[in-house]
Amino acid sequence: MKLTRTALALTAVAIAPALLLATPALASAAPVKASVTAPAGAALGSDTENAAAIAKILADPASGKSVIRAANAALSGTPEDRVAFLTTGLAKAQDEDNTVAILRILAGKPGKGVTREANKALDGTPADRVAFLATGLAKAQDEDNTVAILRILAGKPGKGVTREINKALDGTAADRVAFLATGLRLAQAEDDRVAVATILARPGISDALYAEIQRLLDGGTPEELRYFITVGQYQF
């Protein structure tokens, strides 16, 4: 398993610069407020029943702007307008909202996996856009998160980071999100604390450096530890 991951990590490095110690820009697929289901056609009844069905759609918090606009236009129109909305207009408005939701995701400059699948959905059918928002986005985001983690692994991090990376890769999509969101920071702090303690053991260090190390070991934040290892130790 480790050999396979090493090969994957090297491939990730070839794709883009290693992100060791960098905070990944995107860890999880944010909830998308959009109409992700589009019925082929609503059951029709009397005009009163159709109006009630449209009012129910308006009350649904998942209804997007296009659905709301089209629903309000139908309620303000004729009985024929309400029939048209329920038979074809609703699905068309939902697809418009889904398209807008996908375009917003792309505007956030996501990773390659999400970008690829989002573009496929935009080039596809309304059903493809529904599928992307319902399940495809999360799957593609996990792909991007896995690549981000492999890039970190390719930078040959310390034992703590390496241990948590392997746990994340062996775990669930949620585990990978958690690693990128908080686990990396904490594991890096663990490795930095070990590195700081190693510096403390060097013979002949200055009193100022000794005092700063003691302060960090007694309660330095992960960010302070990282700064000391990368910059601060060379200022004493």
- pLDDT for 210: 95
Report whether 220 contacts 199 (CB < 8 A).
no
What is the spatial distance between Cα 87 and Cα 41, in angstroms, rounded to a whole number?
5
CA angle 223, 2, 185 (to 5 degrees): 10
Query: 179-233 pLDDT, tens per residue?
Result: 999 999 999 999 999 999 999 999 999 999 999 999 999 999 999 999 999 999 9
Round the CA-based radius of gyration of the chain to a whole number and report it.
26
H or E, element range at 27: none
User: Which tens digits make up the pLDDT trace of 118-168?
Assistant: 999 999 999 999 999 999 999 999 999 999 999 999 999 999 999 999 999
Task: Please give the model's pTM, rounded to 2 decimal places.
Answer: 0.78
Domain boundaries, the chain: 2-156, 170-235
Say if residue 83 is exposed, middle or buried (CB neighbours under 10 Å; 0-12, 13-18, 19+): middle
In the chain, the DSSP E strands lie at none
d(CA 199, CA 85): 71
Q: What is the pLDDT of residues 58-94, one digit of tens each?
A: 999 999 999 999 999 999 999 999 999 999 999 999 9
User: Whose CA is closest to 189, among 144, 148, 157, 146?
Assistant: 157
Q: What is the pLDDT of residue 236?
A: 86
